[in-house]
Amino acid sequence: MSNSPRIFDFAGKTLNLSESHVMGILNITPDSFSDGGELMSKNGDVNISRVLTRAEAMIKAGAAILDIGGESTRPGAKEVSSPEEISRVMPVVEAISRNFDAIISVDTSNPELINLCQKSGVGLINDVRALTRKGALEAVAESGLPVCLMHMQGSPDNMQDAPKYKNVVEEVTVFLEDRVKACNGAGIGNDRILVDPGFGFGKTLEHNLELLSRLADLQRLELPVLIGISRKRMIGLITGRREKDRLAGSIAAAVLGVMNGARIVRTHDVAESADALKVCNEILKIS
């Protein structure tokens, strides 16, 4: 994707992806690696008041997109049932849609949930399984919603057991090319597709660093690139910091990603990331 202006339509809300934008993370889960349980009540239900407070703070801090997830995909995580995921996500989608004007992304592989998103104010399906789950491709095609396709080797419960590649950048790129072709074949045009190399999803530290340093190679896909690197284990391995102490390392990685072509940065730390991306965007204007 070139640096010339490109307006991307998130189901009626648009972003100019000639510059970078922040996607704030709203994990409606008890077991996500960094913030699990923070938006849930002691009885395990979603705490809508807490969610709206967090969402408002993220929007004020500069998040253009809010990414809502009801299933943890951390290493070793088990799949949740479709009814459980829906019961977590849909009340949040509806509440945010009623109260705020931000673009809503739903982080899911679940075709039943995708179908419900169609008329609920959602602007993006963010799928770590790249629409490989049965029925997901058809659900997105029918919904008319845009989608972010992510690369993952294996599945969350086994992806970090022993990831191996001959050439991680080439293999990730080829996988994403194949998934884009599958989308095109189902009637999903490139104007509805973003891609994510999947940092930490079936990759060692060396694989992640190779992907980050060569992220510009994904430009051959001519699609907007989204990255999710916030607080991840790769940052901890480099810095020796615990999850919530990985801000500086996460910002450094995000900036490197943006300067190598990423246009959406998925993060827990919105205000700090937004400031960093403002600086990147000024550089992008003159580069």
Residue showing tokens 């009626």? 12
203 near 155, Cβ under 8 Å?
Answer: no
120 near 98, Cβ under 8 Å?
Answer: no
State the number of CA atoms in the 13 A half-sphere of 43 facing the CB. Answer: 3
Is 54 designated active site?
no
Task: Compute how many other C-beta atoms are within 10 angstroms of the C-beta atom of residue 164.
Answer: 10
Catalytic residue (choose from 54, 231, 232, 233): 232
**Token duo for residue 192:** 């509805």
Determine the Cα angle at 171 with ends 142 and 69, to 5°. 45
**Token duo for residue 132:** 């490989």
Is 266 designated active site?
yes
CA-nearest of 61, 69, 111, 66 to 90 is 69
110 near 82, Cβ under 8 Å?
Answer: yes
Alpha carbons 262 and 227: distance in angstroms, whole number: 7
End-to-end CA distance of the chain: 14
Alpha carbons 74 and 155: distance in angstroms, whole number: 10
Catalytic residue (choose from 179, 203, 231, 266): 266
Q: Are strands 13-16 and 7-10 parallel, antiparallel or unpaired?
A: antiparallel
Instruction: State the catalytic residues.
Output: 232, 266
